[in-house]
A = this chain, B = another copy of it.
Amino acid sequence: MTANLLEGKKGIIFGALDDQSIAWKVAERCVEHGAQITLTNAPVALRMGVIQTLGEKLNAPVIAADATSNEDLENLFDESMSALGGKIDFVLHSIGMSVNVRKKKAYTDSNHDWMQKTLDISAISFHRMMQVAFQKEALADWGSILALTYIAAQRVFPDYGEMADAKSLLESFARSFGYHFGTHKHVRVNTISQSPTITKAGSGIKGFSEFFEYAEKMSPLGNASADQCADFCVAMFSDLTRMVTMQNLYHDGGFSSMGMNPALLES
């Protein structure tokens, strides 16, 4: 396959942290498909220094932005448009962090200030980003916005904690803003509900490896990898999927449509 699906397109990728991140793979794959991009993450994440390596490799400016700060997001869109020489065709939001999970607070003993911080970082940041882009008219006509989510937004995985609630909120923002962006600029907004993926974020969750194995067995195709997710993001950023909007798309090897897989009983 010698496709150049994103030739001439300009994008912003949020949330690449290291070479296990889904966002990292998406950035690489988009550039392979001919896109020009900028990379962004929180100042504290940039200080680790690894993203700069990716930026150099992909010839992609790295722009610090705290996704809970509208000012930072405004600056990010301004700088991205300036660096890429025009409006933005696609955006990936891959940001999530649960304070209560990280601090090992039980769901039934949540600190509600921390919960609000979790929602701000993991979900409201998506609304903020879209609002900034909307007000700046920063998205090109027929652009594509994606956020990564997880099936805990629909079904309970107890160890996932309040992040489930944050993902429900995130998916709702995709629908709500999808209406406004679609009507105004033909921009589509979707979420990809990805298999559990071995990344720094994923492995922070209690019982992650048991859970990864469970999903692997439950899914007829097995768990989708970060690389495969990057391929799917390219499809969703390309012009082949212009009329798909306000959807939550399961990229999970069939997990979401399984009730029970006999493979779980064998072992």
Cross-chain contact B169 with A176 (CB below 8 angstroms): no
Nearest CB of chain B from residue A3's CB, rounded to whole Å: 4
For the A-B complex with A5-B5, A119-B169, A156-B259 known, give 16 more contacts whose Cβ atoms are closer than 8 Å: A70-B112, A109-B135, A116-B124, A152-B259, A156-B257, A169-B169, A178-B220, A182-B221, A188-B221, A214-B260, A220-B245, A232-B240, A246-B254, A246-B258, A247-B249, A247-B250
Copies in the complex: 4
**A interface, by DSSP: helix, strand, loop or mixed?**
helix
Question: In whole angstroms, what is the CA distance A242 to B157 when docked?
Answer: 22
Cross-chain contact A251 with B243 (CB below 8 angstroms): yes
Chain A, interface size: which category? Answer: 35 or more
Q: Specify which chain B residues have a CB less than 8 angstroms from the CB of A153 in the assembled complex.
A: 172
Interface centre among A2, A119, A234, A244 (most CB of B within 10 A): A244
Nearest CB of chain B from residue A245's CB, rounded to whole Å: 4
Cross-chain contact B249 with A240 (CB below 8 angstroms): no
